[in-house]
Amino acid sequence: MGKRIFVTTFVCVFIFVCWPAGQACSQPWSDFTIRSLPDSSFAIVEIDKKGKKVRHFPYRDKSGRIDFDQLIYCLGVFSNETWAEPKNREIARKHLEEHYYRFRLQQLKEEMTQPVNINRASLKELVQLPSIGPVLAVRVFEYRKTHGVFRNINDIKNVEGIGSSTMAGIRYYIKVSN
């Protein structure tokens, strides 16, 4: 009996520690991944009123490389964050946007060669679309997680913030397939 508990515990710990953290390239990082990152991986680190360290918006991996899907996710959910010091909000926003704008400049140099499959697109692919920034890209991503795949391209209008004018701008740049 004791051996079985040990083996079961070992397997659970092994899976928790060694299993790949993200199931999709644009999915937010797992809590375990975030906890294991150094402070330099975050847009800003604050100390709250209780003296506890609060790390906001992880966007660099352990080796210091920017994960652009994670960066876009951070910008897409930025308004949901609470701050110990309101001035840090602006500092963090500028910091993240600076990296995003560099990424977008590089991305604009590359042409889209085929339509983006909105059922499988990463956040990096979604922000390539006209009028789709980080906030709408995250909304599309979250909509997919909640409602499943889009059956046709017009279903993307069910995502909050994507209306007729946005749809007109992206219609010929998107496709739907499983």
Q: Is 164 inside a domain boundary?
A: yes
52, 120: one domain? no
Q: Is 6 inside a domain boundary?
A: no
Q: Which of 63, 90, 109 is the last residue of a domain?
A: 109
Place 4 in a pLDDT band, splitting at 50, 70 and 90.
low
93, 138: one domain? no
Q: Is 14 inside a domain boundary?
A: no
For residues 116 and 4, the model is more confident at 116
15 phi and psi angles, rounded to 5 deg: -65, -45
Other Cβ atoms less than 10 A from the Cβ of 7: the count is: 10
CATH number of domain containing 150: 1.10.150.320
Q: Is 135 inside a domain boundary?
A: yes
**8 A C-beta contact, residue 73 and residue 145:** no
Write out the residue range of the structural domain in which residue 166 sits: 116-175
Q: Is 16 inside a domain boundary?
A: no
Q: Is 55 inside a domain boundary?
A: yes
pLDDT of 100 reads 97
Q: Which of 59, 81, 109 is the last residue of a domain?
A: 109
In tens, the pLDDT along 42-91 reads 999 999 999 999 999 999 999 999 999 999 999 999 999 999 999 999 99
**Rounded Cα gap, residues 107 and 174, in angstroms:** 17
**Rounded Cα gap, residues 79 and 60, in angstroms:** 20
pLDDT of 81 reads 93
Number of domains observed in the structure of the chain? 2
pTM of the model: 0.80
In tens, the pLDDT along 95-105 reads 999 999 999 99
